[in-house]
Structure 1
């Protein structure tokens, strides 16, 4: 089995910058699933796209949590630390 690790985010940020980074990543991932859903429905109008819809909802929920967590910290002179790693594993 082969594995690759990518250090995506590793640093200290203002809450405003952290929110921009996190919401941008989550928005990009949601857009990916929306495009997948569109491609599926163009091939088969009856496809319920269950996985895509559930994943979009889950990502939106995570985005809402990040906004609720970081929002109150903005303009208070606090910083946050973010660490994010992506593990890619060849099956």
Structure 2
């Protein structure tokens, strides 16, 4: 098996910067699934797009959690550590 690891986010950030980074990544991923859903429904109007709808809802839930967690910290001066890795495996 082959594997690739990408260090996507690794550093210390203000709460405001952390909010911008996290919400931007989640928005981009939600937009990806929305485009996939649009492409499916253009091919087949009856396609329920179950996976895409569930994934969009799950990502929105994660975004809401991030906003709830980071929002109260924005007015403070503390820094936050964020580390995010992407692992890609070839089976």
TM-score normalized by the length of structure 1: 0.99
Q: CA RMSD in A?
A: 0.4
Following TM superposition, by how much is the alpha carbon of 1:75 offset from its aligned partner in structure 2, in angstroms? 1.5
C-alpha distance in 2 between matches for 1:40 and 1:76:
44
Structure 2 Cα separation of the partners of residues 49 and 32 of structure 1: 13
Aligned residue for 2:86, secondary structure, equals strand
> After TM superposition, what 4+ stretches of structure 1 lie above 2 angstroms from structure 2?
none
* CA distance in structure 2 between the aligned counterparts of 1:76 and 1:82, rounded to whole angstroms: 17
C-alpha deviation, 1:48, in angstroms? 0.2
**Structure 1: distance between partners of 2:40 and 2:59:** 20
Q: Report the equivalent of 2:11.
A: 11
- Which blocks of at least 5 consecutive residues in structure 1 are unaligned? none
Identify the structure with the greater strand proportion: 2
